[in-house]
Structure 1
Amino acid sequence: MSITTTTLTRTAGLSAVAAGLLFIGIQINHPHLDATFATTAEYTIRQSLKIAMAVLSLIGITGMYLPHVKKMGVLGLLGYLVFGTGYLIMMSVEVIGAVVIPTLATRAPAYVNDVFAVATGGHASGDIGHFQLLNAASGLTYIAGGVLFGIALFRAGVLARWASAVLALGTAATIAIPLLPMVNERLFALPTGVALIGLGSSLWRKQHTASATARREAGMTLGSGVK
């Protein structure tokens, strides 16, 4: 199979769909994060899926942006860079969670509990070092990038506009997590997951249609040349 721009873009679309499904699936029946849970096999599996989700999301938004660079303009570039940075930081946080946290959970459970508290929108009772800044950077770039990228996609009209709007609104809504302690913070991941599924499927369909049109036109051209 030859590797073409169309093939890569369609793969990016499927990656975004997979990322959205993972983002939603990970939230289902997610146990409370604490030092005890961090030593379980379920925790390791969920962390691995979160890493995969971040990687697939980054592939997905790259495929959404690159074919539409001109139409998305400066806002699209800024949104892609910030959103991409958000997913890179998110991936690094999840890698730390998968590799480092389980070991610390048995040696320094209080520290691990504070890390989890901050990661879920709460406050640490002790000093967690630079993780506080890393978590803040992750949240800021994810929210700002999602809003900018969603708006740029909506304005350009290159993919499903409803999904673009959901992406912008869904990521912006996560700001409310610390303000609504009575609401399960994991519910705020659902709009972004749905948006990724919608945008990814829209990207895949668009490339599939373009590929079919190109093959049809090529056949017509070849047929017209036969004497």
Structure 2
Amino acid sequence: MAITATGLTKAAAVATATAGAIFVAVQINHPPMTAETTETLDWAMRSTAKALMGALAVFGLTGMYLRQHREAGVLGLVGYVTFAVGYLMIMATEVIALTVLPVLAGTNPAYVDAVLVTAAGGTPATDIGLLEPYLALSGMLYLLGGLILAIALVRTGVLWRWASVLLGLGVLGTGALAVLPESFNRPMAVPIGLALIALGVSLWRSPAERAAGSAEPHAHAGAALS
């Protein structure tokens, strides 16, 4: 099977949309983030899904950027790299949540609770070492990269602008969680997931295909006239 640029772009589109769908799905009936919860099957399934989401998002963002790298310029490159690194760090965090936290929950639940509080944007009651600046950096890169990339996507107009605007608004909403009650945490994630789904669909509908579709009637007209 030949690997083509069109095929890779469509694969990236599917990855982007799937990442968005997973991001929305894992918010539904999300359990409280406590040490006890990390030992449940529900936690394991959600952490696995979130790690997969991170990997799919990076692949999707790569295809999205390459599709319009000339139009996006330096701003698009900075947004793509920053957002992608943020997603990679989120993926690593979820691997820790899946493999490390459940093991520590039985012997050191206070540490696990402190990690979860930090991951949610709070202040830990216990020293968690380098995980604290790591989680802070992860969140900063995710928010900053998402906002910059959204601006770049709106400027290029290659993909649906409304979806790019929704991505930017979703990222801004996530940043606002620092001053909002914890109950807003899950709903604020939904716009980003929906934006990724829409951007994936838009990426699938490549301009080349649309151009070919619009040119086809003209070709038939030319044949009829000849």
TM-score (norm 1): 0.91
> How far did 1:68 drift?
0.8
Which amino acid in structure 2 is aligned with residue 188 of structure 1? M
Match of 2:169 in 1: 169
> What letter matches 2:136 in structure 1?
A
The match for 1:202 is 202
Matching residue of 1:109: 109
Q: Structure 1 stretches of 5 or more lacking a match?
A: none
Deviations 1:160-206 (A, max 9, x none): 00000111111122111121115331111111101100100000012
Aligned to 1:189: 189
What does residue 76 of structure 1 align with?
76
AA aligned to 2:45 is: I
Counting matched residue pairs gives: 219
Specify whether residues 102 and 17 from structure 1 end up closer, same or farther in structure 2 by C-alpha distance, changes over 3 A only.
Answer: same
Deviations 1:79-100 (A, max 9, x none): 0110011011111111111111
Structure 2 segments unaligned to the other structure (5+ residues)? none
- The aligned amino acid for 1:117 is V
Whole-Å separation in 2 of the counterparts to 1:211 and 1:103? 55
Map of 2:3 onto structure 1: 3
Matching residue's letter, 1:145: G
Partner of 1:179: 179
Shift of 1:130: 0.8
Q: Tell me the distance in 2 between the aligned counterparts of 1:75 and 1:140.
A: 17
Could you say what secondary structure the match of 1:201 adopts?
helix
Equivalents in 2 of 1:107, 1:212: separation in Å?
Answer: 62
The residue aligned with 2:59 is: 59
After superposition, give the CA deviation of every residue in 1:51-71 in whole Å (9 maximum; x if it has no partner).
011011111111110021110
State the Cα distance separating 1:210 from its structure 2 match.
5.3
Between the aligned partners of 1:3 and 1:211, the Cα distance in structure 2 is 22
TM-score, structure 2 length as denominator? Answer: 0.91
TM superposition shift of 1:208: 7.6
1: CA distance between counterparts of 2:182 and 2:89?
27
Q: Could you report, residue by residue, the CA deviation over 1:94-125 in whole angstroms, capped at 9, with x for unpaired residues?
A: 11111111101111000001111111122211
